[in-house]
């Protein structure tokens, strides 16, 4: 086994999961730095209006991209199952199908993003002093969707075999370039939001190129050969079966976030800017927990493929222990240093005040979101995607929308009430996922089974 691969089917779990998750955390932090660099540079050098413009686009961008990003979860599960079961032919076909899906999906997103950006921002009630810059920023970002999707699908392939180090290296290189280009385009070229968007796209091109180079130079069934790119119908069916519900869940979650963003927009651009900065800081806590969600998918997936059923419960327990530890400690640290962190984004005291209001509610309770997501990761690693989608949409998304149209609108239309919808929905949905996991797990044997005979490498 190569040094960057990981045998997830044997040996102590706590150390292995942490070694797998830590590079994922750093990789996700670097991805966040792409956006943080955008937000910080425009906030400090272009003003609060540009800061609000960049921040108000996140919900809309996620709404359009989450379906295709969800399909990469299907790739991760299928690759991990094939890798754990040592089915080389299935592994080869899944990889080539996945890259084709990412290319086609990226082009579709490019077109949809350019056409729908302005109407969606208008529908959200984006402030007049923000909407023009927000639309320009989003259209440039959507031009980079093909390279963004190829990178994410390529990373999903590497994660499935236990390789979280090389994606980290690639993002580190691209992240340095992104920050340099942000400063150059905004300060020297005076390009405002267009400059930070262009810097992000160029950096994504670099990270995509590096991950493709990595896959092309692999050996055996992991090797990507452009001449053999095609969609294998059975692999497409399974990727869609697992990934589409995850993508739909993300997209519908984005609808609830669009609704919340629209409600935040109604309080004015200063509140939007404070909400943007706070959400950006909270994102660093979220990605630490999300690394455990991805760990649960990959570890559970490989052990399902190898039919090591005993380890599945242990994997979930270890991942949940880590997610509570990271979620609580990082959330409280972010709140403790909230004023200093928000000052990195803006010098406007009103923006800082509104940012602290959001952080005081979200940060201490964010670990509930991590528990919820990690339960979903375990279920998806087992090959179940529709059940956790239904539970998440009913619990988190549906309850959040209901909260806005009832408690917020009729009882207490304040920012505090709006933000309280998050921890309430996380807690209820997490509990429901625990019950769902116990029901699903009961369908599988308690003891391990023999690993199937390996299939030879494709010619």
Domain spans of the chain, in order of start: 13-441
- Is 90 exceeded by the pLDDT of residue 48? no
Structure tokens at 432: 């429901």
pLDDT band at 453 (very low <50, low <70, confident <90, very high): very low
Q: Which of 155, 148, 203 is nearest to 179 (CA)?
A: 203
The Cα–Cα gap between 432 and 366 comes to: 17
Range 150-168 average pLDDT: 90
The Cα–Cα gap between 390 and 423 comes to: 19
The whole-angstrom distance between residue 277's C-alpha and the CA centroid of its chain comes to 18
What's residue 370's pLDDT?
95
- Is 90 exceeded by the pLDDT of residue 52? no
The Cα–Cα gap between 35 and 42 comes to: 11
pLDDT band at 196 (very low <50, low <70, confident <90, very high): confident
- Is 70 exceeded by the pLDDT of residue 209? yes
Contact 386, 244 (CB under 8 A): no
The Cα–Cα gap between 401 and 380 comes to: 25
Contact 77, 70 (CB under 8 A): no
Q: Which residue has the higher pLDDT, 429 or 57?
A: 429
- Is 50 exceeded by the pLDDT of residue 457? no
Range 86-109 average pLDDT: 93
Residue-wise pLDDT for 319-335, tens only, equals 999 999 999 999 999 99
pLDDT band at 455 (very low <50, low <70, confident <90, very high): very low
Instruction: List the single range of 188-192, 347-351, 396-400, 455-459 with lowest mean pLDDT.
Output: 455-459
What's residue 134's pLDDT?
86
The Cα–Cα gap between 211 and 230 comes to: 19
pLDDT band at 3 (very low <50, low <70, confident <90, very high): low
Q: Which of 286, 249, 255 is nearest to 384 (CA)?
A: 249
**Alpha helix ranges (H) inside 144-268:** 145-160, 165-183, 192-216, 233-265
What's residue 459's pLDDT?
32
């Amino acid at each position: 086994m190569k040094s960057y691969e990981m045998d997830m089917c044997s040996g102590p779990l706590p150390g292995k999961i942490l070694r797998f998750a830590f590079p994922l955390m750093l990789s996700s932090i670097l991805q966040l730095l792409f956006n943080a660099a955008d937000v910080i540079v425009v906030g400090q050098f272009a003003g609060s209006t540009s800061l609000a413009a960049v921040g108000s686009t996140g919900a809309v961008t996620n709404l359009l991209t989450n379906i295709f990003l969800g399909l990469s979860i299907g790739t991760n599960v299928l690759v991990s199952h094939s890798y754990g079961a040592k089915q080389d032919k299935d592994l080869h076909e899944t990889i080539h199908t996945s890259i084709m899906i990412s290319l086609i999906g990226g082009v579709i997103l490019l077109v949809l993003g350019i056409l729908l950006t302005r109407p969606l921002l208008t529908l959200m009630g984006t402030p007049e002093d923000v909407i023009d810059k927000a639309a320009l920023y989003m259209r440039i970002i959507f031009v980079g969707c093909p390279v963004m999707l190829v990178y994410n699908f390529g990373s999903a392939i590497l994660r499935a075999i236990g390789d979280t180090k090389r994606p980290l290296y690639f993002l580190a290189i691209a992240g340095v370039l992104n920050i340099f280009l942000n400063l150059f385009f905004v300060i020297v070229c005076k390009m405002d939001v267009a400059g930070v968007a262009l810097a992000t796209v160029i950096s994504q091109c670099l990270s995509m190129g590096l991950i493709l180079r990595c896959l092309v130079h692999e050996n055996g069934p992991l090797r990507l050969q452009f001449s053999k790119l095609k969609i294998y119908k059975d692999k497409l069916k399974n990727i869609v079966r697992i990934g589409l519900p995850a993508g739909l869940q993300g997209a519908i979650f984005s609808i609830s976030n669009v609704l919340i963003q629209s409600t935040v927009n109604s309080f004015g651009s200063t509140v939007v800017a404070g909400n943007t900065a706070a959400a950006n800081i909270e994102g660093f806590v979220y990605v630490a927990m999300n690394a455990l969600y991805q760990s649960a998918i990959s570890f559970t997936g490989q052990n399902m493929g190898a039919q090591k059923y005993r380890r599945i419960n242990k994997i979930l327990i270890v991942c949940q222990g880590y997610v509570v530890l990271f979620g609580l400690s990082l959330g409280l640290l972010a709140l403790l240093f909230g004023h200093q962190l928000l000052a990195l984004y803006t010098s406007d005291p009103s923006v800082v005040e509104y940012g602290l209001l959001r952080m005081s509610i979200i940060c201490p309770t964010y670990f509930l979101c991590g528990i919820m997501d990690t339960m979903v990761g375990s279920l998806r690693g087992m090959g179940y995607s529709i059940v956790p989608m239904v539970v998440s949409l009913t619990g988190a998304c549906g309850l959040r929308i209901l909260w806005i149209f009832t408690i917020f609108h009729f009882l207490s239309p304040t920012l505090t009430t709006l933000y309280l919808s998050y921890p309430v929905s996380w807690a209820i949905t997490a509990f429901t996922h625990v019950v769902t996991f116990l029901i699903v797990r009961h369908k599988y044997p308690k003891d391990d089974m023999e690993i199937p005979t390996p299939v030879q490498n494709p010619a």
